[in-house]
Structure 1
Amino acid sequence: MKKSIMALSAALLLGGIASAQKVDFEEYTLDNGMHVILHNDPSAPVVITSVMYHVGAKDENPERTGFAHFFEHLLFEGTENIKRGEWMKTVSSNGGVNNANTSDDRTYYYEVFPSNNLELGLWMESERMLHPVINQIGVDTQNEVVKEEKRTRFDNQPYGNIMKAVKENMFKNHPYRWSPIGSMEHLDAAKLEEFQAFFKKFYVPKNAVLVVAGQIDITQTKEWIKKYFGAIPSGEAVKKQTFVEEPITQTIKATYQDPNIQLPMLVTSYRTPSMKTRDARVLNLISSYLSDGKSSKLYKKIVDQKKMALQIGAVALSQEDYGLYFIYGLPMSPATSADLLKEIDEEILKIQTDLISEKDYQKLQNTFDNQFVNSNASIEGIAENLAKFYMLYGDIKLINSEIELYHSITREEIREVAKKYLNPNQRLILDYVPSTEKAQN
């Protein structure tokens, strides 16, 4: 009976995949170099206007970290035609919502409006690109906003600096060694002219992709795009630097003291290849198998069965140039961090030695099928995926076909990739421990 229920569940899920709608889109490039992607979905009367810029923390001067994230905030300050403090009011008073986010690799801005306000959304994003007001008042205001964000989300948050501690030990040459939030000292030291120069270099049509998705008239949308974006100067093509990290060949050991915690945490981290590679996708399957939720191998063994940890989990950070896969755990006395590491290593060795079971393999496929459907389940998700696959992967068609790559991965590949990347001499072992120092205010 149990097998029948599982088979039925798998069949229903796979049936959902089979009926998942293909994302249709049209793309073209304006004369100024800005790429445009349009997706018409008449099912709901909403529209998203979004712009992704190919600029993130990795494009910063090592002495001026935090600039890309700072601009995520600064470019809501206002423009020559939208008064300071009026951006959010304009969006909300027209029935919309908006936001932005920054990573190591890109910055993304978007608005979601009722479809009859598409022209307004396009005008606002063109204003952000063409007429932003970057002055000392705005810089000073957002400096305080970012400082508060850093205090709240990182410095005063228990275990809030795990990512910082991992990255600074895993990367020695690549700008991934710092976090997008950056350094407040760097932002304090920066002059207004430096912010203006950063904008002029990166926030230009040639370094951007515009995505419009939702209930749209394609012909009318193209006319408005030409009207509001066509005359924006193209700017200089951004030349991306290449940073190469030497392979990790012996265990890195480090300690980080956090004044906000009482319980030590074990963190072990492995460097992984670019998210564009097949190996990165295989590693995504491995990380899900080992550590994705309470049904994963590590959680069931270490938390449920052996009661050795209060919590165990992992983060698979896929990025444009390199990635990270790190596992963390909170030991429960009398178990220690060393005990947790031993259990983790045993599970990794099993993957490197034996093929995972057909049952576990099918479960992974079902999990990633479900993620694929969910990622394109909303207009917002579709818009960001279209921008991401075009800009960071260089293959926009992956929005429909990436799941086929996961389906083609074999159990034998899972074993071989685990052997290639997840070895004791290729990792960081980080003791994340309490500090006697007081937390920052």
Structure 2
Amino acid sequence: MFSKKHFLVAAAAAMLSSTTAQAQKVEFTEYDLPNGLHVILHQDKSAPVVAVSVMYHVGSKNEQVGRSGFAHFFEHLLFEGSQNIKRGEFMKLVSSNGGQNNANTSHDRTFYYEVFPSNQLKLGLWLESERMLHPVINEVGVKTQNEVVKEEKRMRIDNSPYGNFTNEIFKRLFTKHPYTWQPIGSMADLDAAKLEEFQAFFKKYYVPNNAVLSIAGDIDIAQTKELVNAYFGPVPKGAPVNYQKVVEAPITKMIVDTAYDANIQIPAIMSAYRVPGMSEKDSKTMEMISSILSGGASSKLYKKMVDEKKSALQVGAFNFALEDYGAYITYALPNNNTPLPDLLKDIDAEVANLQNNLISEEDYKKIQNQFENNYVTANSTMLGVAENLASGYTFHNKNTNNINQELDKIRGISRQDIQAAARKYLQPNSRVVLYYLPAQAKTAN
């Protein structure tokens, strides 16, 4: 959701946390309530701020064919109110008490949060317990948020240049797994869904035993435990959430296809490879490879194709890390009418160089420094710490301490690991190549 107002106290909170301090070990307390809610508490009294967050282990991959978009829809729907919060009052309660709030949905989880002055901890806990305990899910709310989601889709995807490219990539890269559709889903699916289906989706996934409550900031641990028990203890435990990964067969022959976008004038060429999920070491290695290839103006692809040859207006590579699988994607937009296949050849040449040669010690050190800085930045706010603690538990085999192991994992990736991952996953016969063209090109061919 994008329409939440930011207040001065929240902005100050983001600035006041010391990056130097957060680079040190993150201390935390964790435990389970009898209803299965996993609770993580981190005390940091450097600023009078607290982040209250709930991560539900539900995303678009938990949806059924013909009913896509439910998880993202609930990102919006659960702001409608509860039995004790009138419609439209949720965000007013946050803003009038000096805080900010938001939510976001991925293929794998939905994340809600509030950042408050620390004297409003009770309010944050009450709001999130209301969301979990007895939200109002009725026809009025469903119809209202249906229109909100439709407008979001129009703005972010339908009417945005290159806004649909991830959908076009994923529906070719995945044929069986629910990753084949994007979190925003299908508006036709949402229109066709009945109220009882939305209510059943909530009852199944938005339960304490499928959630992590993560609180970080200026708190007293013992007092916070009492408050958590008071607000969340009464929430009834749900049925066990059983999820089984859908296994995709390996791609053994290159898939070449074309997609059209009415919102673009400059074509693009993209390639995508299916890679391991985010908890695997190779996922972080692929992230490093993307930085080597396109992380800034000194990266291999940018220097070669934008600066030197001037064949590309833009070029990039990134690892789209998800829980079950990842998608490693490269892209380029031509300059000076450079043929798209030539751009792909140049990208492939740099990939081949990684496969055939170890990167230099200088490049390796630079990448290590970049990733260490990224780690520090990710934990430089109370909200960042709260989210990373919850993510460690949710996606790394209940290892909340993953937040303190990330640096060692980064430092443990060698030049040889980078070369081996490039060889293993970036093979031409295991990828999707997509020509992403202006819509008018469809009638010209």
TM-score interval, normalised by the smaller of the two chains: over 0.9
1:12 counterpart residue number: none
- Which shifted more, 166-175 or 386-395? 386-395
2:407 is matched by which residue type in structure 1? Answer: I
Equivalent residues of 1:252, 1:427 under 8 A apart: yes
Match of 1:105 among 104, 108, 112: 108
SS where residue 163 of structure 1 aligns?
helix
- Name the CA shift for 1:18/1:205 in 2 (closer, same or farther; >3 Å): closer
Select the residue among 345, 356, 365 that pairs with 2:359: 356
For the 8 Å contact 2:22–2:380, the answer to whether it is kept is: no
Does the CA-based 8 Å contact 1:17-1:370 persist in structure 2?
A: no
> What's the counterpart of residue 404 of structure 1?
408
Letter in 1 for 2:333: L
Structure 2 CA distance for aligned equivalents of residues 410 and 428 of structure 1: 28
Instruction: Give the conservation status (yes or no) of the 8 Å contact 1:262–1:434.
Output: yes
Aligned match for 1:51, one of 47, 50, 54: 54
1:434 aligns with 2:406: no
Cα distance in 2 for residues equivalent to 1:413 and 1:130: 47
Aligned counterpart, 2:417: 413
Residue 315 of structure 1, CA deviation: 2.6
The separation in 2 between residues aligned to 1:414 and 1:311, in whole angstroms, is: 24
Question: Is the partner of 2:83 in helix, strand or coil?
Answer: coil
Could you tell me how far apart the structure 2 residues matched to 1:139 and 1:315 are? 35
Question: Is the partner of 1:377 in helix, strand or coil?
Answer: coil
Alpha-carbon separation, structure 2, partners of 1:52 and 1:295: 37
Q: How many residues align?
A: 423
Deviation at 1:423, TM superposition (A): 1.0
DSSP-derived class of the 2:143 partner? helix
Corresponding position of 1:82: 85
Provide the residue aligned with 2:313 in structure 1: 310
Note if contact 1:320-1:393 (Cα within 8 Å) is conserved in structure 2. no
The 8 Å contact of residues 257 and 435 in structure 1, kept in 2 or not, is answered as: yes
- The answer to whether structure 1 residue 172 and structure 2 residue 212 are counterparts is no
Matched, 1:377 2:387: no
State the distance in 1 between where 2:367 and 2:245 align.
34
Q: Is the 8 A contact 1:320 1:392 kept in 2?
A: yes
**CA positional deviation for 1:19:** 8.6
Q: How do 1:322-341 residues align onto structure 2 when only pairs under 5 Å count?
A: 322-341=325-344
For structure 2, the 5+ residue unaligned runs are: 1-18
User: Hey, what does 2:193 align to over in structure 1?
Assistant: 190
Alignment partner of 1:227: what SS?
helix
Contact 2:22 2:376 in 1 (8 A): no
Q: CA deviation at 1:142?
A: 0.2
Calculate the TM-score normalised by the size of structure 2: 0.93
In structure 2, relative to structure 1, the CA distance for the partners of 1:341 and 1:240 (3 Å cut) is: same
Contact 1:259 1:437 in 2 (8 A): no
CA distance in 2, matches of 1:90, 1:17: 33
Runs of 4+ that moved beyond 2 A: 16-20
Which of 57, 64, 69 is the matching residue for 1:66?
69
* SS in structure 2 at match of 1:109: strand
Q: Cα RMSD over matched residues?
A: 1.3
Contact 1:17/1:369 (CA < 8 Å) preserved in 2? no
Q: How far did residue 314 of structure 1 move?
A: 2.3
Q: In 2, distance between residues paired with 1:190 and 1:49?
A: 32
Q: 1:18 to 1:113 in 2, by over 3 A?
A: closer
CA distance 1:18–1:286, shift in 2 (3 Å): farther
Match of 1:310, SS? strand
Could you say which residue in structure 1 is the equivalent of 2:15?
A: none
Task: Work out which of the residue numbers 35, 38, 53 in structure 2 matches 1:35.
Answer: 38
